[in-house]
Structure 1
Amino acid sequence: MSVFTGWLPGAVAFYEGLEADNSKAYFTEHRAEYDELVLAPMQALLDDLAGEFGEGRVFRPYRDIRFSADKSPYKTAIGATVGGSGYVQFSASGLGVGAGCHVMAPDQLARFRAAVADDRSGEALVAAVSAVEAGGVGVSASDRLKRVPRGYDADHPRADLLRDKDLTAWVDWPVEPWLHTPEAEDRVVDALRASRPLTDWLDAHVGASESERSR
């Protein structure tokens, strides 16, 4: 098992090059740099995090271009899941850490809205969001309805949350000297811990999709 020591400047340079030349030729020529400077540190980080946050999984570097107008073949960031709801991403722009529910299946969304509407669990979510933000991590939705969903009062005190179709804690940092040191792991750990009020609430009131449970 390797030891996480940060992402060296060469990892940033790899992605800067890939952004400039997103081609198979570039990736093939620099594959050893990707494996050693990008992938290996991410795997070492996941190994370190597994004991507290759960097993991680690194996403493949290849983009799914079947239904995309953008046919560039490679992702310009390496991303990995951490446990059931955490996420870590490294790129030429820096480091990002998130946790929560980025996409909700219909049954999850139904449970989410019911819990938001309920005074007890809804207020608990408001408190959880405030706690996460007090820890220096933002909370937001990437997809939101223009209006409160049918069946809920448009003047509901938590109308904004009812409009959300997902909810995620997220923080990112630009490239700084600490990124090339073990301090990067400390930043990830702190962000994931700070996100726990939200992830605990989602675990308790939303949970996994029924389709995933039946697999």
Structure 2
Amino acid sequence: MASTIDKNTLAFLADLSQNNTREWFQENKNRYDAARKNYIQFLDELLKQMQAFEPIAYGQQGKDLVFRIYRDVRFSSDKRPYKDHFGAYIAEGGRKSINPGYYLHLAGNNNSFVAGGLWMPPAEQLKAVRQEIDYSLDEFRNIIEAPAFKDRFGSISGDQLKTTPKGYDKDNPAIEYLRFKSWNAIMPVSDKVVLSSNFLAVVLEAMQELKPFNDFLMAPLRDLGAED
């Protein structure tokens, strides 16, 4: 297993961002294969070490968590055939899960990041999370305003309603968080850090810091499941 990211992996992704054509990709397919293998081996080591604090890492494999590099361009004005990054999602239920999880985005040109949270949940889950934040605002604030969390992730982000969500008053003390449709925490990572020998430790520490945030968002979804 690889506990570091090879400089050739990042170089391939940087080059792909500048040469996003099928012809170039086919000519550099061996570079892609090597880069993808390195990323998956890194994920496998990450999953192994995550088990110390995150049970959902058990039984998961890097190859199953990586998103396809091929873009679906059927309904997009952007016709570039490939993503210019590798991405993997670690969550209960796997890569396609709607549950909160951890995301590792690897890209050249200082565009890598570690992220966590809940992305665009369906209506029932969205309503349940808003209710949890409304009921447990102090707990939520304690998580996202903790100094170690803010140092890494700054403020949480995500798509938001321009208006007040149905059922809530605009003077609700939690309204700034209730307007979110996704609750995300993102930590940018420079190429220098990605290629350093301690990148795995950096990712693990960030994900450990994300765990209370993910656990908070997951709790109301578990309650939904218990009601079914």
The answer to whether the superposition gives a TM-score over 0.5 is yes
Q: Which runs of 5+ in 2 are unaligned?
A: 93-100
User: Which of 156, 160, 177 is equivalent to 1:161?
Assistant: 177
Paired position in structure 2 for 1:108: 125
User: Which of 44, 47, 54 is equivalent to 1:47?
Assistant: 44
Residue 208 of structure 1: how far off its partner (Å): 9.2
Residue 122 of structure 1: how far off its partner (Å): 2.0
Matched to 2:4, the amino acid is: T
Residue 209 of structure 1: how far off its partner (Å): 7.8
Paired position in structure 1 for 2:97: none
- SS of the equivalent of 2:152 reads coil
- With over 3 angstroms needed to count, the CA separation of the structure-2 counterparts of 1:139 and 1:40, relative to structure 1, is farther
Kindly tell me the number of residue pairs found equivalent between the two proteins: 206
Contact 1:108 1:208 in 2 (8 A): no
Paired position in structure 2 for 1:126: 141
Paired position in structure 1 for 2:200: 185
TM-score by structure 2 length? 0.82
Deviation sequence 1:77-100 (CA, Å, 0-9, x none): 110112330110111133211111
Residue 194 of structure 1: how far off its partner (Å): 0.9
Matched to 1:103, the amino acid is: M
Deviation sequence 1:4-23 (CA, Å, 0-9, x none): 22231x22321222122211
Q: Hey, what's the Cα distance between the residues in 2 that align with 1:165 and 1:3?
A: 36
User: Which of 81, 93, 106 is equivalent to 1:90?
Assistant: 106
Please list, as runs of the form range in 1=range in 2, the aligned pairs for 1:1-215 lying within 5 A after superposition: 2-8=1-7, 10-36=8-34, 38-51=35-48, 52=51, 53=54, 54=57, 55=60, 56=62, 57-84=65-92, 85-94=101-110, 95-118=112-135, 121-131=136-146, 133-176=149-192, 178-207=193-222
